[in-house]
Chain A
Amino acid sequence: MPTMTTTTQTHPAPGGSELDRREFFTKLGLGSLGVAAAGTLAFYYRYLSPNVLFEPSPIVNAGKAENYPVGSVTLDVDSAIYLIHVAEGYFSLSAICTHLGCMTAWKPELGMIACPCHGSRFSEEGQKLAGPAPKPLPWLRTWISDDGELMVDRAVTIPQMQFLRV
């Protein structure tokens, strides 16, 4: 339609800062597409994050404290924790290497904890001695249940050197 074209061209938006109708609707359309795209992303992000996980409970029952004599370091492979009894008391360490998640092992002949994947080494208290691990092994919350059993919560870390005295 030549008339419409002429109208648009001979009456440009005054001042330059205002939008003409076509530009306004283009921006409105693109804006709504952007909002819809963001909504779609949020929708799929939520769909891909499971709400219920069939993973084992983080709380581990390690049995009677008497089973762990002074000076012992015990690795529970299933729950990936160390239960350690030293003169100051009991404590529990995560056995998951802080580098890339491999399971470490206690080396009694070296008196240290070693990771088989990339060679990180930790002291008995979890302090890093060597290797690529960026952090010490975390100390886990440990307590005695009402039934007198040693409990460890793998989801809760505590400051180092907080020994449990029984």
Chain B
Amino acid sequence: MPSTIDTYFEKLERTRMWRSIFRSGRGSSTLHNALAIQQNVFLHLFPTKVRKRMVGLGATWYLGTLTLGTFLLLVITGILLMLYYHPSVPQAYSDVKDLRFVVSSGLFLRNLHRWAAHAMVFLAFAHMFRVFYRGAYRAPREFNWVVGVVLLLVTLLLSYTGYLLPWDQLAYWAITVGTNISSAVPLIGDKIHFLLLGGNQVNANALLRFYVLHCVILPLTAVVFLAVHFWRIRKDGGLYVRESEPGTASAQPQPASEERK
């Protein structure tokens, strides 16, 4: 017997406004379920249909999803930290100190940002190890592995650029050493060094450039590549599950007594 809430939703889903937003209409058929995914801008990146064992913990240990989770956490905490942080030489260090000692919950949000950053690097590596040792990088998924490597580099660059922002001794010397490594590029090394720092030494221009890289350029790059990364999962035949792949031992016909998963 349908409850009052069900009736209410049924009425709501028949209204003109609801139908103008969700065009797939009401119904529980496979077609309706597929349309609900396919016609949603956020969900359409994903396949309309997945095998149950693909979304089980055993297939992926959810390492990619967890990496995305830390990324979202970093975006949220990062935007909140931006409300108190000025990327300028006289203010940067004292703003970070204020976040620790003066701003309510500032200590929590800054530490959350820092620990989530460490966790994201760790999880990205764990995700890559999992993909590598499961052999999930092989055809037809080899291009998505390349996209993943780009995402790893963006993750590391995000860590590196964020390192300068507290403007303490650790940050200053880490960025001095790191940007000097770019000088080792043949022929154009010194030019890259100059462009990165916006000068010859780690100074106000360098702080501002690293801030813009950290808060705008690199996150946008990450979002673009993340979209491609998720979309490719669908295009390459869904998440990798060994049993569903042709040519693997367990994909061969099994004895009748053994039930297939």
Minimal beta-carbon separation of A115 from chain B (angstroms): 11
Contact with B along A6-38 (1 / 0, CB 8 A): 000000000000000000000000000000000
- Identify the B interface with A (CB < 8 A): 173, 176-177, 179-181, 194-195, 198-201, 203-205
Minimal beta-carbon separation of A48 from chain B (angstroms): 5
Q: What residues on B are CB-neighbors of A99 within 8 Å? A: 180
Given contacts A54-B203, A55-B201, A100-B176, 13 further A-B contacts (CB under 8 A): A45-B195, A49-B195, A50-B198, A50-B205, A53-B205, A54-B204, A100-B177, A101-B176, A101-B177, A101-B179, A101-B180, A102-B173, A117-B173
Residue of A49, A53, A54, A102 near B176 (CB, 8 A) is: A102
B194 touches A49 (CB 8 A): yes
By beta carbon, the residue of chain A nearest B179 is A101
How many angstroms from the CA of A55 to the CA of B197 in the assembled complex?
A: 12
A50 touches B177 (CB 8 A): no
Tell me how many residues of A have a C-beta within 8 Å of chain B: 12
How many angstroms from the CA of A54 to the CA of B203 in the assembled complex?
A: 9
How many angstroms from the CA of A102 to the CA of B179 in the assembled complex?
A: 11
Residue of B177, B181, B199 near A55 (CB, 8 A) is: B199
Residue of B177, B203, B204, B205 near A117 (CB, 8 A) is: B177
Q: What residues on A are CB-neighbors of B198 within 8 Å? A: 48, 50
How many angstroms from the CA of A53 to the CA of B204 in the assembled complex?
A: 10
Minimal beta-carbon separation of B190 from chain A (angstroms): 12
Contact with B along A109-129 (1 / 0, CB 8 A): 000000001000000000000
- Identify the A interface with B (CB < 8 A): 45, 48-50, 53-55, 99-102, 117
How many angstroms from the CA of A50 to the CA of B194 in the assembled complex?
A: 9
Q: What residues on A are CB-neighbors of B173 within 8 Å? A: 102, 117
Q: What residues on A are CB-neighbors of B203 within 8 Å? A: 54-55
How many angstroms from the CA of A100 to the CA of B178 in the assembled complex?
A: 8
Q: What residues on A are CB-neighbors of B204 within 8 Å? A: 54
Q: What residues on B are CB-neighbors of A49 within 8 Å? A: 194-195
Q: What residues on B are CB-neighbors of A45 within 8 Å? A: 195
Which 10 A-B pairs give the minimum distances between C-beta atoms?
Answer: A101-B180, A100-B180, A100-B177, A101-B176, A53-B199, A48-B195, A50-B198, A55-B199, A55-B201, A102-B173
By beta carbon, the residue of chain B nearest A103 is B173
Minimal beta-carbon separation of A97 from chain B (angstroms): 9
By beta carbon, the residue of chain B nearest A58 is B200
Q: What residues on B are CB-neighbors of A102 within 8 Å? A: 173, 176-177
How many angstroms from the CA of A100 to the CA of B195 in the assembled complex?
A: 17
Q: What residues on A are CB-neighbors of B181 within 8 Å? A: 100
How many angstroms from the CA of A37 to the CA of B55 in the assembled complex?
A: 45
By beta carbon, the residue of chain A nearest B202 is A101
Do A50 and B199 form a contact, CB below 8 Å, given A102-B173, A117-B173? yes
Minimal beta-carbon separation of B88 from chain A (angstroms): 12
Query: Could you write out 23 A-B pairs with CB less than 8 Å apart?
Result: A45-B195, A48-B195, A49-B195, A53-B199, A53-B200, A53-B205, A54-B203, A54-B204, A55-B200, A55-B201, A55-B203, A99-B180, A100-B176, A100-B177, A100-B180, A100-B181, A101-B176, A101-B177, A101-B179, A102-B173, A102-B176, A117-B173, A117-B177
